[in-house]
Amino acid sequence: MKKIFSICLILVVAVGFVACSDNDDAGNSYLQENTIKVIASNLTFSPLAQTGGVKFTAPAGSTVSVDEDGSAWAKAEVRGDSVVVSVSHNPRLDSRSAILTIKNGTDFVHLSILQAGAEFSYKGQKVYRFASDDAQTVTLPFTSLGADPVLESPDTAALESVERKDSAFIVKVKPNETNQLRKLSLYIKNQGRIDTVFVMQAVLKDFTRMPIAIVAYDLLKMNASVTDLSQLVREIHGHIKIENAGGNEYPKFVCEDPEEEHILNNLVLAYRPETFTFVVSAGAVVNQSAITTGDDAGKTLESRTTIWDSNIYNYMGLWSDKLKEAVSKGKLTEAQYQEILKTYIPQVYLAAANSKLTMLINMDYDLTKGMTIGTFEDGGAQNLAYAKSLQVLKDIGYTPIAGFEANMMGIDAYVVGAGASKMKSQVALLASPMLLSINDMVNNAKAVQAFRARTASFSLPQAKAMAAKARRLNR
């Protein structure tokens, strides 16, 4: 819009106005001078309703008109030695133009009337989060010149009022009484353009009121009979419960599925109320049981979380393959190969169980699915800093470390006793994990469908390749 308007201004400056005469007497050997002289003009307008005009000299009896393009929005009249031009408000985003004609006898002058299009820009946030279920007032700021924006919402039942001020919409939101994370949609519309704003509200207790499940692809379920990713889906059903220690509340996921308790019985979380984010730390104990038989009798079998960047996990598989290739070429003996694996692989797994590694579960409400969904994401810069500090990664050649993206959560079993622990096995390797909560978890197909839709980029060939590496590393 601004570009078109600027071009029009250039044309006005370059051309000015056109002055002509209707006297086409072929016998005249000279060009007749136009009797209409424009002294000054102000015919460039903002989107607002305004008045401008033209100062001119001419014999008595001048008339003025506006062409068809401008007749609906521009009016002109002669007042003495001036033409007064009035334009109405232009609410559209596009500029507009018209031709003003001053006529006196056979002489006339054409001048351009230019009016800029309306300007509008939303200046607020795309998402407003409130760590409270109380009534809220949301201010949605904007800049406007001549625009006529409106605010619409499919959630009017949750809105107390909407008021448009000169530079903001003031939206009053009713208390959140849904007993879950609430997400309201607000649409700021102006001439076909839409800014979408979400207002979200929740307190920690809202996440405890419905059944919830950890859903992921468990790569350790891979075998020769798997032909579809759905066969790798692991669902661990339960609730988030609030525990209290030393006067401080913290959430904990508690499994309520007897078939999955051996994988993950409970998982202690941290909670960031300002962003509705749960935090998972590596090294969290998710299962404990006494060992009553065998060489480890009297010790404890303890399952802990690990956090992985799949790139590092993939590299470990490739590193192992290269060592095996060195054996086949006679550069290493089988005994040396096994000794290298026993030296370094446990160190990497132990590093992946360090509490400095975290994953964030950012909770959102899927308006199309009608469920609360949390996607496990990387925990931030501290993950990369920790990975860069690991000597074991340098020892196996994984350098330089340009980035770290936590995208898999493992569960490993350790034998613990007499102040020492040793890794026994991997229990699960969860790729693309999510936290899902819906009103009716009895029919959990809806949750699995949502999970599959949000992990569409993950393919069966990827899963097979990762699972093959996991098997080789855990021999």
Q: What is the pLDDT of residue 378?
A: 96
User: What is the distance between the alpha carbons of residues 374 and 365, in angstroms, rounded to a whole number?
Assistant: 8
Q: Is the pLDDT of residue 24 over 60?
A: no
User: What is the distance between the alpha carbons of residues 173 and 138, in angstroms, rounded to a whole number?
Assistant: 8
Q: Is the pLDDT of residue 75 over 90?
A: yes
Q: Is the pLDDT of residue 373 over 70?
A: yes
Percent of the chain with pLDDT over 70: 91
Contacts of residue 93, defined as CB under 8 A and 6 or more positions apart, other chains included, come to 1, 117, 118, 120, 190, 191, 193
Q: Is the pLDDT of residue 198 over 90?
A: yes
- Cβ 322 vs Cβ 246: under 8 Å: no
Helix (H) or strand (E) holding 15: helix 2-15
Q: List pLDDT tens digits, range 310-330.
A: 999 899 989 999 999 999 999
Q: List pLDDT tens digits, range 225-246.
A: 999 998 999 999 999 999 988 8
How confident is the prediction for the chain on average, in pLDDT?
90
Per-residue confidence band for 143, with pLDDT thresholds at 50, 70 and 90 = very high
Per-residue confidence band for 20, with pLDDT thresholds at 50, 70 and 90 = low
**Strand pairing category for 212-218 and 193-201:** unpaired
Q: What is the mean pLDDT of residues 366-394?
A: 93
**CATH 2.60.40.10 location in the chain:** 2-115, 119-202
Give Dmax (Cα) for the chain: 126
Domain 119-202 has CATH 1.10.760.10: no
User: What is the distance between the alpha carbons of residues 117 and 426, in angstroms, rounded to a whole number?
Assistant: 64
- Cβ 4 vs Cβ 93: under 8 Å: no
Per-residue confidence band for 463, with pLDDT thresholds at 50, 70 and 90 = confident
- CATH match for 2-115 among 3.60.20.10, 2.60.40.3120, 3.40.50.970, 2.60.40.10: 2.60.40.10
Q: DSSP secondary structure string, 208-248? A: GSS-EEEEEEEGGG--TT--SGGGGEEEEEEEEEEEEETTE
**Does the pTM of the predicted model rise above 0.85?**
no
Per-residue confidence band for 3, with pLDDT thresholds at 50, 70 and 90 = very low
Task: Give me the helices (H) in 287-426, please.
Answer: 310-328, 334-352, 381-388, 391-395
Strand, coil or helix: 346: helix
Q: What is the mean pLDDT of residues 24-39?
A: 70
CA nearest 182: which of 121, 136, 239, 232?
136
Q: What are phi and psi of 69, to 5 degrees?
A: -60, -30
Q: List pLDDT tens digits, range 170-179.
A: 999 999 999 9
Q: What is the pLDDT of residue 8?
A: 42
Q: How far is CA 114 from the centre of its chain?
A: 40
Q: Is the pLDDT of residue 11 over 50?
A: no
